[in-house]
Structure 1
Amino acid sequence: MTGLLAAGLRSTAPPALRVRRQMTVVIDEHNAPEPDVTVVRAAAVRGADQLHLVDTFRERVTLGAPSALDIDLTAIRW
C-alpha cells in the first residue's frame, strides 16, 4: 500500500520535491524517525537512505504547492 501511495505522489510531485519511502529523517541529534512515506524538498535529501530537515514545522504547516495546504498542528490531539 505504501508503494502505491509513493508512486502516486512521485507522479504528481513537482521537480523540487522528492518522495521517499522508509527513510530516516534526521530532525536533530536525538530525533530521527523513519516514516513510511515522506515528501520533502529535493535539497533535504542527503543520501540514499537519509534526509536532513532544515524546515521543521512545529505549530503550523502552510504550503502553496503542489496543492494548497494549511494544517494547525496545535489542534492535533495525541
Structure 2
Amino acid sequence: MTFISAKPKAREAESHPANDNHLSALADISILQLIDDDDDVADIARRAERLGNAVVIAMALCLIVAPAIYLTLAYAP
C-alpha cells in the first residue's frame, strides 16, 4: 500500500532544482518564520514615525521659504 501525504517529503538541499517553484522547497517555509519579533516591529514603527515627522517639518519649511525667496528675487532691482 502506498502512503499518500498532502505535504511532499523534504529532500536534501543539493538535490533541489534551480527554480523556486518546486513544492518540496516551498513546503518547508512558513509565513510565520518571516514575521519579526514585536520589539523589532515597534522599533521600525518608532523610526518611521520620526522620519515622517521630519519630512512634514521639512516640507513646511520649504513651503514657507520658497515663496519668500521667489518674492525677494522677483522684486529685486
With the length of structure 1 as denominator, give the TM-score of the two structures: 0.16
* Larger Rg belongs to: 2
The structure, 1 or 2, with the larger RCO (C-alpha pairs under 8 Å, 6+ apart) is: 1
User: Which structure shows the higher helix fraction?
Assistant: 2
